[in-house]
Structure 1
Amino acid sequence: MSLLYRAMWESKADDSAATIQACRNAFDRWAKETGEGKSRNYEVRDELTDLDNALEATCTDSGSDGQLWKTTGRFRVVDGTLSALVENSFEGDDVTVRISVGRPRVIADLLTATGGGRLGGSALLDEVSELDAAQVSVLVDFLKKTDRRLPAIVFTEPPPNDDSGLDWKRLAARVATRSMGTAQVFTLGNAAVTEFRRQLGDMAAWGGAIRTYVPARVVEGSHMHRFLPWKYVVARPAGATVDGLVSFVTQQSTRRRVLPALTGPEWDSASGSDLGAANAELQQQIDSYEDENLSLTEDYEEATRELSLAQAHLERLQKVLAEHGHAGLYWGAQHAESTDEAPDMVDAISEAVLAAQMYLADDLTVPESCKRDLKKLDSHMNSAAWGNTAWRGLRALAAFVRDRRDGFAGDFWAWCLKGRPGGWPASPKKLSMREGETVVNNKKFRTCRTFDIDPAVDRSGRLYMEPHLKIAEGGGNLAPRIYFYDDTAGTTGKVHIGFVGPHYLIPNTKT
C-alpha cells in the first residue's frame, strides 16, 4: 500500500491506563460512526507481546472498484509520556485514479482525548493561528528553531486593491483542517505582514502570498521554503491550491521516522510470507533509488557544464557592453523589474504551467486539460527541481516560437542544437521528437498520446502527439513529461502543450 499521511506526537500521560483507554474510545467512536454503508474491517490489539500500556487499531475500507483505504493508530505510554502515531494508506488497481489526501477525521478526536501533543519543538494545532504584529516575533523564533519538526504554512492578507473576492482566511482554514497533524497554519494581517517582512526580509511572505516553511534553516536565498504569489493563488481554483499545499506537507510527513516507542518487533504481527513480500518491495525501492541517483548524478554533471558555458557567455556579454559604454545594462537586467515579468524560478510544476499560461500565452497554448496528476509531482521531494526544469523547458519552447517568427527554418531539435540562449538540451535523454515503432503501432499507446488541441489546428479538437520534453529520467514512473505539437508553420503559429504530468500516464513497452 502507498503511505499517504503520517501524524505523530507525544503528550503527558499521568494515568497510563486511562490515556490508552481514551485513545481507544476515540478510535472506536470514529470507526463506528463513519463506517456505516461501507465495507469496513476494524481490528484492535490491546494485548501486545512484551508491551504494557500499548494499543494498535486498524480500520480498512474496501470498495467495489478495488480500492483499499487503511487507517492505523498506534499508542503507547512509557514513563508518563504518550507516543502516538496515525497513518493513512491507499491501494488500488488503477494507477491513474485521482485521490484526495488529508488527515483522517479521527485525528481531531485523538488530539482532544490526549490533551494535544508535540513533535519535537512543534505543537500539533487543530486550527489556524491568527497572529498580530506583536506576535510575529514568536512566529519568527519558531521558524528558526532547530528542533522544529513540522512545516509552517503562512497565509498573508491580500493587497488592498485586490478584487478577486477570494476569502483568504477561509482558504487557510481549509488547509489547516486537511493538513491537521502534519503542519501548522498561520495567518498574518497587513500590519503583521509589515513586521514579518521587517524581521525576515526576503524570506518572509507578503501581498497575499502563501509560504510553506519546511523544517530547515530559514536563510537568505533558500529555495526550500516554497513561495506561492497571490496572483498564482487567484489564477486557479481554490480547491487546487488547498490540494497542492496539503499534498506537499502530507507527503513530507510520510518520510519522518516513526517514534522509537512505536516501532520494533513487538509491534510486528506479520507472517513470514508477508515479511518476504515486504523485503522484496524494499529491494525494489532500493533498486529504483539507485537508478534515480545515477540519473541525478548525470543531470548534475550536465547542469555543471551548462552553467560553466552560461557563465562564460555572461562574462563575454558584460565585457562587450562595457566596451560600448553600457555596463549598467548588464546589472540592471539581473532581476525582473516588476511583477508583470515572468518569474526567474518557480517552486513546483503546477506553478511552471500556471506561469506559462500567464506569461507565455503569445507563443504557447497551454490548456487546463494538459495538466494531469500535478499534485503528485508537486508533493515529491524533487518538486522544486522538476518545477524549474519544466519552467525552463516551457520557456525554451516559447523562445523557439519567437525565433521561428524571425526566420529560423528548423524544428525544435534543430533549434536546440544551435545552443541558443534559453535553449534546451538536444539529447535523447532530455528530448524526443519521435516515438518508437512499438508505440506508434500500438492502439493503446497512441490513445494515451492523443490530447486536446485548439480546433484551429484540428477540427476534432484532439491530436496525436509524439514530441516531448523529458523533465527527469530519475523518479521512476513519476518522472515528468511534457508533450507538445509544433504549429509554428500552421494556422496558429504557436506550440501547443498537450500533456504535463507523470510518466506512468504515458505508458510504453518498458513501463
Structure 2
Amino acid sequence: MPSRKPTPKAPRWGRGEFVRDEPRAENPLVYRAVLPIPDDEQEQMFAGARSCFTSWLESKGLATHLSSGVHRLTETYTLTVTDSYDTDGHQTALRLRLRESKEDRHEGTWQTTLTSAVDRASNTAYVGVDLEHYPSPGRRQVTPVPPRLVREILDHFTVSDGTIRLTTAPHLVRSDSVGLLTSALTDPTRGLPLVLVAEPPNDDATWEKLLTGVVRNLVGIASVFRLEREAVPAFREAAGDRHDVFPGQIRTYLPGVALGSAEDGRRHRLLTYRRLSDPKFRNADIRISRYPRQHAVTTPQPALLAEPAFPGIEEVLKDLRAARSQTAESSGNETVDSLRAQLSTANETIDKALEELSEAASARDLAERSRRALDEQLREATDRYEDEIADHDATQAQLSALRHQVAVLQQRLVEAGRAEDAYTPPAEEPAPMSFAELNERVQERMQHLVLTYDTSKAEDLDDDIKSSTWASKVWDALLALDSYGACSGGEQGFDGTFRDFCEASPQGMRTYPVTRVAMVESESVRSDKKFRQQRMLPVPSEVDASGKVFMEAHIKIDSKGRIAPRVHFYDDTAGATGKVIVGYIGPHLSNTRTN
C-alpha cells in the first residue's frame, strides 16, 4: 500500500547533527584510589607504603630498589623513587612510580604511581594509587583490574570511607544489620559509591562468580555490601520504593543518598536479575565497575596528594654543577689515582643525571599526551554544557508557557463550577529509570508501535552515567511516536510526517521537540554502502519480504559525545501494520563524521 506521507528532502550538514570526526584522545588515567590513613597509623605510613610496594614488585618477579632515583629494572620496567622532606628533616611525601612499556606487543605503556603525603599540622595523610594507560597508536584503551598494590595497602592499613571500612571482601548484611546498611547509604561523609548486591532467590553459581568479579574490580574505589536474601524485605521497607532492590539485583549508590526522593532515586543505577542473567550481557563485572571508576578518576584529588613538593630537574642540574666544580678545581698536587677517582665520581654523576633526564623526557611526553586528552575532555564537556544550557532554556520557556496555560484553564474550570477537576492531577506513570526498565514496560504501554529493536543494544546504554536521563528522553520520544501512530492510523488520520505532527502539536497529543527529529539522513550517508547497511533495520515480513528496510528517520536523544543515542523508526501508519515501527535504540550509528 503506497504511503500518503510526503517524502522529505535530504538535509544539509548542520551543527549538532553529526558527531565530530577527530580521533578522540582518551584520558590515560584509568584507575585512581585515594586512601585516607588514620591518625594512629600515620607515623609508619611511609614505611608501610614502601613495604606494600616492595611486596607488589616481588609478586611481579622484579628486584626491589627503593632508594631515591631512577632504576632500570628490566628492558621494559622502569622504577622512579622520589622523597620529599621539610626543613626539619621530616619526610612529607613519597612517590613510587613503575612504568612498563609493552609497545613490542602493541599494548602501549602502563604507569602505576603510588603517592603518599602527610600534613602533620592537621593530622591528615593519604596514600593514593594512580594507574595510567597510554595505548599504542591505533589501539583503544582497555579497562584493567585494579592493581594488586591496592589490595596490599588495604590489608596493611585501616582505611575507611565515612563509617565504612574499605576491604577486599564484601560486607555481609543480615536482617538484624539492615540499619547499619541504611546508615552507610545516607552517611554524609561517604565519598565513594556503595554497591549493593542482593542475593538471588535461589543459589546461583553464575551469580556468585559475578559477585567475585564485581568485588575484584571495585577494590579501593567503592564499598561492596552483600544483602542476604532473607534481609531483602527489611531493606526494601527501610529504603523505600525509590531506592530498594529485589533479590538478585545489583545497585550502585552514589554519595549523597536521599531516601524517599524520587528524583534522587534516578541517580543510583539498578541492574535487574533478568539483565544480569542474560547471556548477551557480557563482562557484567567490568560494566558494573564503570560508574565507580568514572567517579574515581573525575573526582579531584585532595590538595595534599595533588601538589606535593618533590625535587625536580633543578636537583639534577645542581648535582651536575657540583660535579663540574669539583673536577675544575685543581691544587696541582693531584695524583693519577686521585684524578681517576674524581673522573669516576663525575662520570657516575653524569650517568645518573642522564638517566634522570631521560626519565624526565619520557614523563614529559606522557604528560603531554595526558594534557591533550584533558583538552579534549574539556572541549567535550564545554560542548555538552552549552547544549544542556540550550536544552534547559528551551525547557524552561516551554514550562513557563505550560504553567500559564494550566493556570488559565484551571481558572476557567473554577468559573464553570468544576473546581475539583481543575486541581486533580491526571494519572501519569513515572518515566523509567533505566533502559532495562523501559524495555519491560514499553510493550504493554505503546499500542501503536511495532518494536523490532535489539533490546540488549538499548540496555547497553545503561553503562553510561547519563543513562537515566536518556531513558527518560527515549520514553518521551516513544510516547510521541505512539501518539502519532494513534492519530495517523486510518484514512482520516493526521496527514503528514512525524516531524509535521510534532510541529503541529495536536491538542492533547504527546509530541517531541522538532529540532530533535530528522526524517532523512544526509546524502553522504544514503549513498555510502557501509552506513546504509547499518540502517537496514528489522521490520515485519508483511512490510518488506526481506525483513529489513532502510530506516533513516530518527530522533536525536543527545547531540554531544561519542554515544549520542538515537531512535530510528519507520512510518508504516499508511502501510500493512498501520503503526510506527521502531527498529533501533542505541548509540549514534556511523556516518562520515564518526570515528
1:81-480 matches, cutoff 5 A? 81=125, 83-89=127-133, 91=135, 101=143, 103-104=145-146, 106=148, 109-119=151-161, 122-156=164-198, 171-189=210-228, 192-208=231-247, 209-221=249-261, 222-226=264-268, 228=270, 230=272, 233=275, 236-237=278-279, 239=282, 242-264=285-307, 266=310, 269=360, 278-311=370-403, 316=409, 327=420, 331=424, 334=427, 336=429, 344-349=430-435, 351-353=437-439, 355-356=441-442, 359-360=445-446, 363-368=449-454, 371=457, 374-375=460-461, 378-380=463-465, 382-405=466-489, 407-420=493-506, 421=508, 423-428=510-515, 430-473=516-559, 475-480=560-565
Aligned residue for 2:310, secondary structure, equals: helix
Per-residue CA shift, 1:302-333, capped at 9, x if unaligned? Answer: 22233345556666489769979795898585
Higher relative contact order (CA 8 A, sep 6+): 2
User: Aligned-pair distance for 1:129?
Assistant: 1.6
- 1:71 deviates by 5.0
- Counterpart AA for 1:58: R
Q: 1:117 to 1:431 in 2, by over 3 A?
A: same
Alpha-carbon distance change, 55 to 164 in structure 1, aligned in 2, over 3 angstroms = closer
The CA deviation string for residues 124-153 of structure 1, in whole angstroms up to 9 with x for no partner, is: 232222212321222222222221111112
Q: Deviations over 1:249-270 (max 9, x none)?
A: 2222211222434333739846
SS at match of 1:425: coil
Name the residue aligned to 1:8.
34
Q: Distance in 2 between matches of 1:114 and 1:325?
A: 71
Q: TM-score with structure 2 length normalisation?
A: 0.68
For residue 9 of structure 2, what is the aligned residue in structure 1? Answer: none
Instruction: Summarize the Cα distance change of 1:8–1:210 in structure 2 as closer, same or farther, 3 Å threshold.
Output: same
Question: Does the 8 Å CA contact 1:73/1:86 hold for their aligned counterparts?
Answer: yes
Residues 118 and 498 of structure 1, relative CA distance in 2, 3 Å threshold: same
Matched, 1:28 2:54: no
Change (3 A) 1:128 1:357: farther
Deviations 1:413-444 (A, max 9, x none): 1221232556343423x111112223333444
Tell me how far apart the structure 2 counterparts of residues 365 and 145 of structure 1 sit (CA, whole Å): 43
**How far, CA to CA, are the matches of 1:477 and 1:389 in structure 2?**
18
Instruction: Identify the range of structure 1 (196-205 vs 136-145) with the bigger mean alpha-carbon deviation.
Output: 196-205
Deviations 1:78-115 (A, max 9, x none): 369551213254647668x7x87463252564245533
CA contact (8 A) 1:8 1:85 kept: yes
The AA in structure 2 aligned to 1:405 is: G
Does the aligned pair in 2 maintain the 1:102–1:247 contact within 8 Å? Answer: no
Structure 1 residue 5: Cα displacement:
2.9
The answer (yes or no) to whether the contact 1:400–1:415 under 8 Å persists in 2 is: yes
What SS is found at the alignment partner of 1:85?
strand
Question: Within 1, Cα distance between the matches of 2:543 and 2:111?
Answer: 48
- Where does structure 1 lack aligned partners over 5 or more consecutive residues? 34-38, 337-343
Cα distance change on mapping 1:104 and 1:30 into 2, 3 Å: farther
CA–CA distance in structure 1, aligned partners of residues 55 and 497 of structure 2: 63
Match of 2:81 among 46, 52, 55: 46
SS at match of 1:478: coil
- CA–CA distance in structure 1, aligned partners of residues 226 and 415 of structure 2: 47
Corresponding residue SS for 2:251:
strand
Match of 2:329 in 1: none
- Secondary structure (helix, strand or coil) at the match of 2:240 reads helix
C-alpha distance in 2 between matches for 1:296 and 1:476: 12
Question: Could you state the TM-score of these two structures normalised by the residue count of structure 1?
Answer: 0.78
Which one-letter code corresponds to 1:10 in the other structure?
P
Determine if contact 2:82/2:310 at 8 Å carries over to the other structure.
no
Equivalent pair of 2:79/2:98 in contact (CA under 8 Å):
yes
Distance 2:204 2:401 in 1: 47
SS in structure 1 at match of 2:35: strand
Deviations 1:349-392 (A, max 9, x none): 555455436754872324327727935x6333x33322211221
Q: How many residues align?
A: 488
- Per-residue CA distance 1:149-207 (angstroms, 9 max, x = gap): 1111223456xxx6997976665444233222222222334553343344443444143
Aligned-partner SS, 1:253 = helix
Q: Distance in 2 between matches of 1:111 and 1:322?
A: 72
The structure number with the bigger radius of gyration is 2
Candidates 471, 485, 502, aligned match of 2:587: 502
The answer to whether the 8 A contact 2:129-2:150 is kept is no
Q: What are structure 2's unaligned runs of at least 5 residues? A: 1-25, 63-73, 86-91, 313-359
Determine the C-alpha separation between the residues in 1 that align with 2:273 and 2:44.
51
- Structure 1's 83 and 485: CA in aligned 2 closer, same or farther, altered over 3 A? same
What is the rounded CA distance, in whole Å, between the counterparts of 1:40 and 1:194 in structure 2?
57
Cα distance in structure 1, aligned partners of 2:395 and 2:100: 47
Structure 1 residues 176 and 317: CA distance shift in structure 2, 3 A: farther
